[in-house]
C-alpha cells in the first residue's frame, strides 16, 4: 500500500497506513484536516478522504517523522518542566546597595504568595499538556503557559523593586538573576514547541508588552539596574546604537558589492575557485581581534603617507579598520552562499534555457538570478547577524558602537552596563534577522517559497 | 481500395540538416563515433537505441549545445559552427529529456518563454499558450497558472513539449517527450502529433525508448548503438529487413504486428459501409454474406453491428470506445477493435463519433502480406 497525503504530495510512505490514522496524526500535530489519496503502486489514485484545507507541513515528510516529532514534543515538555524546576533553585534577582557594591541574591522564597503562584502556573500547565497531549485543545495550554510565563517574571520584578529600595536605601538597584533567565529559557522552549504562532499568542505578547509599559510608566521598574545605566548614558546611548547600525550597514554594503560579483566570477572560472575559497578559509580562521589589530599598522602607515586619506576618516584606529575587518569577515558567508545558490540550480533548467536560444546574459537574468536570489539573501542574512555581533569589537581599536557599553562596563565592573550593551546587541540582531526574513520571503519567487523556508 | 504505401517515400525529401562524420567525446567516453545523419526535411526522424547510445548527444549537437570534436553539421548552406548559436536555437524547438521547466515561472510563462524572447505581441501570445496547452491535452483554465512543482511528471513533460512548440519553429528536437506519460495519454498525444505533423510538416528529430512509438511516428527510423548508427531507413524497410541480429532483437518478436501500426485506417482501407437507422433488410445484409451492417442512431453514431456467422445473424452492441476506431487509428488498433467486437470488420467514426467507414479483417490480412 502506498499513500500520499496531498498538500501537493506531503507524505509518501510505502508502509501501510490507514486514513483514520492520518487524521489522527493531523490532529496530533494540530494541523488542519488533510486530503489523502490512497492507492496501490501502479494504480490511479483513488481519493479517499477530502477536506477543506491542506496540510501545513513541509513536503516529503515521512509518517515516521511525524511520529518521532510527536515523541519529541513529549520529551520537550519534560525538558521544559525540568528547566522550570531547576530555575526555582537559583536566585530570581540580585539586589545591590549601589552601582558597584556586592550582590545580594534573592530567591522565590522571599516572594509573596501571589507572585509565587503566578510563577508556578506555567509549569503546571505544561505538566497538564504533557498528560493530555492528544487533543487539539492542548495547544491552548501552550499558549497560556507562554503568555503567563512572560507575565510572571515581570510581576516578580515589579514586586521586588519597591521592596529593594525600602530595605537597601535610595541608591539600591536590582537585576534579574540566573533563576529568572532559566525560567525565561523554559518559556522560550514553550514557544518553540508550538506548531504555529497564532493570533492568540500575538494577543498574549501584546498583553505582556502592555503590562510592561503600564508598570514601567508607573515606575515599577525604576530601580532596575540596566534601566538606571541606560538613563545615565542619556543621548549617548542612541548615538552608539546608530553608530553600531552604521558600522554594520557599511560593512555589509561593501561585502555585498564585492562578494556577489566575486561569487559570479568564482562560479564562471575554475581557476578563481581554486584561488578564492582557500583564501576565504584562511581569512575566516584569523581571530576577530587579531584581524582588527593587524589592520592598524598598514592603515596607520597609509594615512601617514597620504594625509589626504585622514580627512576621509581613514586612519589606523577608529571605525575604518573596523569596517574593513568586518567586511572581510562578511565576505565568507556572502560568497559561499551565493556560490552555492548559483551552482545548485538544476542543470536541466539552465540547459533548457540555453536550448531555447537564450543568450548567456539572458540565462543569468531570466533563470540564474531569480533562482539564486533566496540563497544569496540567506548569505547576506548570515553575514548581517554575524557582523552585528562582531561589530562589538570595534571599540577595541577605538571605534564606536555598542561595544563601548560592553567594554566600558567591563572596565567599571558594572554588570548592568555590560548587560545593557549585550541586550541591545541581541535586540538589534533579532530585529535585523526578522526584517531580513521578511525581505527574503518577499523577494523569493512565489513557487520557491515553500521549499526555501 | 487504396492499399499502397502509407507515407511518401524519403527520396522526395531533401535534407537541409546534415551531420557529417561527427564525433563527440566527454573526456574518456566516446559518446558519438563518426555519425553521419541526413535529417529528411518536413519528416519525422526517430532515434532509438539502448540507454547511453548517444541519442541525446546527437540532439545536442544539432542545436550546438554540445561541441563536436570532429566532423561538422550543416544547416542549409552554412555550417552551424559558423552560425550564431542563439539564432540557430530559436529556429529549433527543444524538448529536453529532463523537462527543465523554469521552477519560478507558471506554466503559462514557461510556454510563453520563446515567443517572449522573440518579442511577439502580448495578445497573440496569450492566445497561443491556450492553443498549445490544449494541443498537449492540458486544460488551459486549470494549468495556466500552476507552477511546475504542482505538476505530475507527465504533465510537466507535456508542458515541456508545448514550450518547445512555442514559437512555431521549423525544426523540432524532442528528447523522449512522452516518456513519463501514461500509455493512454501517450497514445492520444501520438495521435495528436501525427495529426499536426500532417498539417504543419515540421522537420522533427524525435528520441524514444519505445519501439512501438518509434514505428508509429517515424518516417525515418535511426537505430543507434554505442555512439554509432546501426541502421537508418524507413520503418517499413527496417521491419521487413533488419540489418543484423541486434536490430532484430531490438524490434522484438512481434515484428509483423508492429508493421500493422505503420498503417492508419484512413490511408489504406476505408471501405464503403452499409448502414441505416433500423435493423438490416435482406438487401442490406444478404443471407450468408460476410459483410457487416451498422445500425446508427439519429446522430449517425453506430450503436449495433450485424453480420452473418454460421448461418445466423448476430448482433453486437457497440458500447465502448474500444469497439470503434478513428481515421487516424493504426491497423493494429483496428485489429484489436475487430477482435473485441467479434465482427469481421470494425466501424470507423469521426471526431464526433459519427459513422465514417469500416475496416475489414481481410484488408488487414492483405496488407500484412504485402
Ligand atoms: N555531460 C556529460 N559528461 C560526461 N559524459 C556524458 C555527458 N553526457 C553524456 N555523457 C555520456 O555520453 C554517452 C551518451 O549519452 P546520451 O545522453 O547521449 O545517451 P542517450 O542515448 O540519450 O541515453 P538515454 O536513453 O539514457 O537518455 C553516455 O555514455 C553518457 O554517459
Ligand atoms: Mg537521452
Interchain CB distance below 8 Å, A448 and B89? no
Q: Is residue A228 part of a domain?
A: no
**Total structural domains within chain A:** 3
Query: The domain that contains A385 carries what CATH number?
Result: 1.10.3720.10
Whether A329 is covered by a domain: the verdict is yes
- In this structure, is residue A278 part of a structural domain? yes
Give the mean pLDDT of A38-66: 37
Last residue of a domain, one of A180, A198, A223: A223
The verdict on the CB of residue B360 being under 6 Å from ligand 1 is no
A330 and A275, same domain (yes or no): yes
Lowest mean pLDDT among A227-236, A260-269, B36-45, B218-227: A227-236
| Neighbouring-strand partners of residue B231 | B223
- The CATH number of whichever domain residue A139 belongs to comes to 1.20.140
Instruction: Name the pLDDT band for B18 (thresholds 50, 70, 90).
Output: very high
- Chain B residues in contact with A445 by the CB 8 A cut-off are 103-104
> Are residues A54 and A100 located together in one domain of the fold?
no
Cα dihedral: A401, A407, A408, A413 (round 10): 150
Same domain? A45 vs A99: no
Do A63 and A96 fall within a single domain? no
Q: What is the mean pLDDT of residues B8-27?
A: 82
Contact B305, B273 (CB under 8 A): no
Q: Do A360 and A320 reside in the same domain of the chain?
A: yes
Give a yes or no: residue A453 inside a domain: no
Q: Within this chain, do residues A65 and A79 fall inside the same structural domain, yes or no? A: no
Same domain, A57 and A117: no
Residues of B with CB under 8 A from a CB of A: 63, 65, 85-90, 93-94, 96-106, 113-114, 117, 147-150, 160, 163-164, 166
Q: What is the mean pLDDT of residues B345-360?
A: 88
Residue A245 placed within a domain: yes
Packing angle between helix A369-390 and helix A415-443, nearest 10 degrees?
180
What lies within 8 Å, CB to CB, of B287 at 6+ separation is B308
Q: Are residues A178 and A283 in the same domain?
A: no
Ligand approaching nearest to the C-alpha of B23 = 1
- Please state which of the ranges A1-5, A25-29, A387-391 shows the lowest mean pLDDT: A1-5
Beta carbon of B56 within 6 Å of any ligand 1 atom: yes
Pick the last residue of a domain from A37, A53, A69: A69
> What residue ranges in A218-288 does DSSP mark as E strands?
none
pLDDT at res. B224: 95
Helices (H) and strands (E) in chain A, counts: 18, 7
Structure confidence at residue A397 (pLDDT)? 84
My answer on whether A345 and A250 are in the same domain is yes
Helix (H) or strand (E) holding A337: helix A319-343
Tell me the per-residue pLDDT of B286-312, one tens digit each, with 9 for 90 and over.
Answer: 887 888 899 999 888 899 999 988 888
Residue B97 alpha carbon to ligand 2 centre in Å: 6
Mean pLDDT for the stretch of residues A222-244: 89
- C-alpha–C-alpha distance, residues A397 and A292, integer Å: 7
Q: Are B203 and B42 within 8 A, CB to CB?
A: yes
B286 lines ligand 1 (CB under 6 A): no
Binary contact (A348, B100; C-beta < 8 A): yes
When mean pLDDT is compared over A209-218, B100-109, B254-263, the highest value belongs to B100-109
Closest CA to A179 of A81, A96, A89, A118: A89
Q: How far is the CA of A285 from the centre of ligand 1 (A)?
A: 42
Instruction: Please check whether residues A385 and A262 belong to one and the same domain.
Output: yes
Mean pLDDT comparison of A3-17, B233-247, B262-276, highest-scoring range: B233-247
Which residue range(s) make up the domain with A144? 72-223
Local structure of A46: helix, strand or coil: strand
Residues of B in contact with A447 (CB under 8 A): 103-106, 147-149
Query: What does the alpha-carbon distance between residue A406 and residue A425 come to, in Å, rounded to a whole number?
Result: 10
- Give whichever of A66-70, A424-428, B187-191, B252-256 has the largest mean pLDDT: A424-428
- Answer yes or no: do A104 and A170 share one domain: yes
Q: Mean pLDDT in chain B?
A: 88
Would the CB of B57 count as within 6 Å of ligand 1? yes
> Rounded CA gap, B258 and B23, in Å?
32
Q: How confident is the model at residue B322 (pLDDT cuts 50, 70, 90)?
A: confident
Lowest mean pLDDT among A52-56, A109-113, A121-125, B257-261: A52-56
Can you tell me whether residue A249 is helix, strand or coil?
helix
Q: How remote is the CA of residue B57 from the centroid of ligand 1, in Å?
A: 6
Average pLDDT over chain A, rounded to whole?
80
| The three grid cell numbers given for residue A110, joined into one nine-digit string | 522571599
**CA-to-CA distance for A230 and A405, rounded, in angstroms?**
10
Amino acid at each position: 500500500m502506498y499513500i500520499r497525503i496531498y498538500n501537493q504530495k506531503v507524505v509518501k510512505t510505502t508502509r501501510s497506513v490507514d486514513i483514520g490514522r492520518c487524521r489522527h496524526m493531523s490532529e496530533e500535530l494540530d494541523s488542519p484536516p488533510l486530503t489523502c489519496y490512497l492507492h496501490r503502486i501502479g494504480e490511479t489514485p483513488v481519493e479517499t478522504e477530502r477536506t477543506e484545507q491542506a496540510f501545513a507541513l513541509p513536503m516529503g515528510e515521512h509518517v515516521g517523522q511525524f511520529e518521532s516529532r510527536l515523541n519529541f514534543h513529549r520529551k520537550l515538555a519534560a525538558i521544559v518542566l525540568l528547566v522550570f524546576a531547576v530555575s526555582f533553585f537559583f536566585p530570581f534577582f540580585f539586589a545591590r546597595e549601589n552601582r558597584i557594591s556586592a550582590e545580594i541574591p534573592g530567591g522565590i522564597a522571599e516572594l509573596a504568595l501571589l507572585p509565587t503562584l503566578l510563577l508556578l502556573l506555567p509549569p503546571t500547565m505544561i505538566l497538564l499538556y504533557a498528560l493530555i497531549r492528544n487533543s487539539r485543545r492542548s495547544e491552548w495550554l501552550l499558549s497560556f503557559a507562554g503568555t503567563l510565563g512572560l507575565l510572571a517574571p515581570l510581576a516578580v520584578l515589579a514586586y521586588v523593586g519597591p521592596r529593594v529600595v525600602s530595605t537597601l536605601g535610595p541608591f539600591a538597584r536590582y537585576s534579574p538573576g540566573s533563576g529568572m533567565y532559566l525560567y525565561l529559557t523554559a518559556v522560550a522552549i514553550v514557544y518553540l514547541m508550538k506548531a504555529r504562532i497564532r493570533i492568540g499568542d500575538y494577543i498574549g505578547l501584546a498583553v505582556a508588552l502592555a503590562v510592561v509599559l503600564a508598570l514601567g510608566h508607573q515606575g515599577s521598574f525604576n530601580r532596575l539596574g540596566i534601566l538606571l545605566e541606560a538613563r545615565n548614558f542619556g543621548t549617548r546611548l542612541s548615538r552608539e546604537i546608530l553608530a553600531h547600525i552604521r558600522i554594520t550597514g557599511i560593512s555589509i554594503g561593501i561585502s555585498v558589492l564585492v562578494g556577489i560579483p566575486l561569487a559570479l566570477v568564482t562560479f564562471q572560472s575554475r581557476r578563481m575557485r581554486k584561488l578564492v575559497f582557500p583564501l576565504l578559509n584562511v581569512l575566516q580562521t584569523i581571530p576577530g581581534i587579531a584581524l582588527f589589530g593587524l589592520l592598524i599598522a598598514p592603515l596607520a602607515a597609509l594615512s601617514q603617507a597620504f594625509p589626504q586619506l585622514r580627512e576621509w576618516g581613514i586612519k589606523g584606529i577608529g571605525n575604518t579598520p573596523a569596517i574593513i575587518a568586518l567586511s572581510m569577515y562578511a565576505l565568507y558567508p556572502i560568497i559561499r552562499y551565493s556560490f552555492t545558490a548559483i551552482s545548485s540550480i538544476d542543470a536541466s533548467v539552465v540547459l533548457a534555457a540555453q536550448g531555447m536560444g537564450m543568450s548567456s546574459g539572458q540565462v543569468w537574468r531570466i533563470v540564474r538570478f531569480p533562482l539564486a536570489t533566496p540563497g544569496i539573501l540567506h548569505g547576506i542574512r548570515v553575514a548581517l547577524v554575524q557582523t552585528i555581533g562582531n561589530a562589538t569589537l570595534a571599540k577595541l581599536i577605538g571605534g564606536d558602537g555598542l561595544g563601548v557599553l560592553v567594554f566600558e562596563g567591563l572596565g567599571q565592573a558594572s554588570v548592568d552596563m555590560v548587560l545593557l550593551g549585550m541586550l541591545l546587541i541581541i535586540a538589534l540582531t533579532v530585529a535585523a534577522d526578522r526584517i531580513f526574513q521578511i525581505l527574503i520571503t518577499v523577494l523569493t519567487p512565489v513557487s520557491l517559497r515553500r521549499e526555501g523556508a | 481500395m487504396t492499399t499502397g504505401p502509407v507515407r511518401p517515400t524519403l527520396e522526395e525529401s531533401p535534407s537541409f540538416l546534415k551531420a557529417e562524420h561527427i564525433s563527440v567525446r566527454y573526456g574518456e567516453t566516446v559518446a558519438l563515433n563518426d555519425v553521419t545523419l541526413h535529417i529528411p526535411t518536413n519528416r519525422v526522424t526517430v532515434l532509438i537505441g539502448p540507454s547511453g547510445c548517444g541519442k541525446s548527444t546527437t540532439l545536442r549537437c544539432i542545436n550546438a549545445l554540445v561541441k563536436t570534436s570532429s566532423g561538422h553539421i550543416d544547416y542549409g548552406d552554412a555550417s552551424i559552427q559558423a552560425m550564431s548559436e542563439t539564432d540557430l536555437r530559436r529556429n529549433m524547438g527543444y524538448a529536453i529529456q529532463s523537462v527543465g521547466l523554469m521552477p519560478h515561472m507558471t506554466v503559462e510563462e514557461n510556454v510563453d518563454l520563446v515567443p517572449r524572447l522573440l518579442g511577439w505581441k502580448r495578445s497573440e501570445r496569450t492566445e497561443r499558450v491556450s492553443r498549445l496547452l490544449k494541443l498537449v491535452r492540458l486544460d488551459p483554465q486549470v494549468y495556466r497558472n500552476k507552477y511546475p512543482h504542482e505538476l505530475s511528471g507527465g504533465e510537466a513533460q507535456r508542458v515541456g513539449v508545448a514550450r518547445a512548440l512555442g514559437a512555431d519553429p521549423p525544426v523540432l528536437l524532442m528528447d523522449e517527450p512522452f516518456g513519463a506519460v501514461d500509455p493512454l495519454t501517450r497514445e492520444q498525444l501520438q495521435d495528436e502529433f501525427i495529426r499536426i505533423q500532417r498539417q504543419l510538416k515540421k522537420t522533427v528529430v524525435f528520441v524514444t525508448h519505445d519501439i512501438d512509438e518509434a514505428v508509429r511516428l517515424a518516417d525515418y527510423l535511426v537505430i543507434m548503438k554505442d555512439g554509432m548508427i546501426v541502421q537508418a531507413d524507413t520503418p517499413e524497410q527496417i521491419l521487413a529487413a533488419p540489418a543484423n541480429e541486434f536490430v532484430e532483437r531490438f524490434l522484438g518478436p512481434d515484428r509483423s504486428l508492429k508493421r500493422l501500426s505503420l498503417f492508419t485506417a484512413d490511408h489504406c482501407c476505408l471501405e464503403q459501409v452499409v448502414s441505416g437507422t433500423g435493423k438490416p433488410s435482406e438487401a442490406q445484409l444478404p443471407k450468408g454474406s460476410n459483410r457487416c451492417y451498422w445500425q446508427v442512431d439519429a446522430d449517425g453514431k453506430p450503436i449495433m453491428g450485424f453480420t452473418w456467422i454460421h448461418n445466423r445473424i448476430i448482433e453486437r452492441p457497440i458500447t465502448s470506445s474500444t469497439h470503434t476506431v478513428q481515421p487516424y487509428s493504426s491497423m493494429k488498433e483496428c485489429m484489436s477493435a475487430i477482435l473485441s467486437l467479434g465482427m469481421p470488420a470494425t466501424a470507423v467514426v469521426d471526431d464526433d463519433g459519427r459513422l465514417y467507414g469500416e475496416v475489414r479483417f481481410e484488408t488487414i490480412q492483405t496488407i500484412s502480406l504485402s
